[in-house]
Amino acid sequence: MGGMNMKMKRLGRTGLSVTENSFGALPIQRLTRDEAVSLVRSAYDAGINYFDTARAYSDSEEKLGLALDGVRRNVVISTKSMGKTRADVLRDLDVSLQNLKTDYVDILQLHNIPALPDPEDPEGLYAALAQARQAGKCRFIGITAHRLDVALAAARSGLYDTVQFPISYLSSDEDMQLVDVCREHDVGLIAMKALAGGLVSSGTAAFAFFAGLPNAVPIWGIQRESELREF
């Protein structure tokens, strides 16, 4: 591991220990394969151990798979499915596993859901997560949402290990409730858009904000080596 001394955070009840600054792999779909592999390896060498991707991010999963081949056991990987049925989600997951060159993901998330699925529906999305976990294809399950009510309901439900939601130091007090609710229920909180979609120009202020939130793990969308060095 490289020179950066990264602090670790416990990702809620998953018990996973992840680097306080983790890697959002959406932007690497815009890089060439070689650039992406080099960037992800640099992140790994710098000590970053958590990488978040999604089936919907074109070839992001494949690039992560190539970059992390051989060090899979040392990292935490999460991905997401936008599948609308149980079968869709399980099919997506099989493609994700193939792309990522692994037989499991650490966290499988339902991608940007508008409402929580019915956990009792045997053909529903929750059934897919439960089935994937039972089969050992994922260790933990979660959701990502842009709607606060959905994120809060997921955190309170006891059914999900993680919740991913946009949190930044520009977040409203209302959005910040989610931090407390996740802490109360021991749900891992993964913060997307941690730079508020580019509105936050100062990385330093953003890092300081998250340093004060022991249960929120930001995933930074990293596209360039210079950004990685700042982290």
Enumerate the active-site residues: 57
CA angle 185/222/205 to nearest 5° reads 65
DSSP-assigned states of every residue in 4-69: ----EEE-GGG--EEESSEEE-SGGGGS-HHHHHHHHHHHHHTT--EEE--TTSTTHHHHHHHHHT
3 state SS of 179: helix
Pairwise CA distance, residues 26 & 165, whole Å: 15
Query: If you compute the radius of gyration of the chain from its CA atoms, what whole number of angstroms results?
Result: 16
Pairwise CA distance, residues 128 & 121, whole Å: 10
